[in-house]
Chains A and B, each alone.
Chain A
Amino acid sequence: DTGVSQNPRHKITKRGQNVTFRCDPISEHNRLYWYRQTLGQGPEFLTYFQNEAQLEKSRLLSDRFSAERPKGSFSTLEIQRTEQGDSAMYLCASSFGQGENYGYTFGSGTRLTVV
């Protein structure tokens, strides 16, 4: 297990279509996070899971967005009825540890282009 894996790497979709992204975290990591990053900006938090429980959702996560983490393993992020404003890099991260030994590892992201 070499890191956080995200698929697909790139997705081009037409406005109004639904898209789903997958994240496979580092296997021993119990927390999984989704972020969105637009050009020239830092990543913005969307939601996170501890095991299979979704603990927090950002106000950025409109009702067109849904995330799941069945059985506390991989996670999926679905965007329904995509809009051009959804075009961004969607990053997944996972973490495990306590105190100063906490580590957050990011995947390479899924770049979404809505045309």
Chain B
Amino acid sequence: QKEVEQDPGPLSVPEGAIVSLNCTYSNSAFQYFMWYRQYSRKGPELLMYTYSSGNKEDGRFTAQVDKSSKYISLFIRDSQPSDSATYLCASPKAAGNKLTFGGGTRVLVKP
């Protein structure tokens, strides 16, 4: 079993819809959680970084962490075609440690 799991998708939504992405993890040592966006043939780009359980909002993006369930989510409001990408969740066991990634979820936002 991988330490961080994601549904590979693809997840196809119409423009303007809310995109809901999920990730589960198995290791209780994970404390920090990140969401990266990766366009085709590019490196991952950091979207959100959370530590505590609860919600964190940044513009159209909301990250949610539920440590009791080992479940993290990313919501994208008012989705745009430019949001079409692969979204990766990741965690280091401690700040500065190597990141463990999920397999990524491919998102397609159709105009």
B98 in contact with A103 (CB, 8 Å): no
The DSSP consensus for interface residues of chain A is strand
B95 in contact with A91 (CB, 8 Å): no
Number of residue pairs A-B, CB distance < 8 angstroms: 67
Contacts of B36 in A (CB 8 A): 106
Interface residues on A, range: 20 to 34
In angstroms, Cα B46 to Cα A105, docked, is 7
**With A97-B95, A103-B49, A104-B34 known to touch, is A41 a contact of B42 (CB < 8 Å)?**
no
Of A64-72, A73-81, A107-115, the one contacting chain B is: A107-115
Tell me, yes or no, whether A21 is within 8 Å of chain B by CB: no
Interface residues on B, range: 20 to 34
B101 in contact with A42 (CB, 8 Å): yes
Contacts of A100 in B (CB 8 A): 32, 49, 51, 95
**With A40-B8, A42-B103 known to touch, is A48 a contact of B43 (CB < 8 Å)?**
no
A108 in contact with B46 (CB, 8 Å): no
Listed A/B pairs (27) with beta-carbon separation below 8 Å:
A4-B43, A6-B43, A31-B96, A33-B99, A41-B103, A41-B104, A42-B90, A42-B102, A42-B103, A42-B104, A43-B44, A43-B101, A44-B101, A45-B99, A56-B98, A91-B43, A93-B99, A97-B96, A100-B49, A100-B51, A103-B46, A103-B49, A104-B34, A104-B46, A106-B43, A107-B43, A108-B43
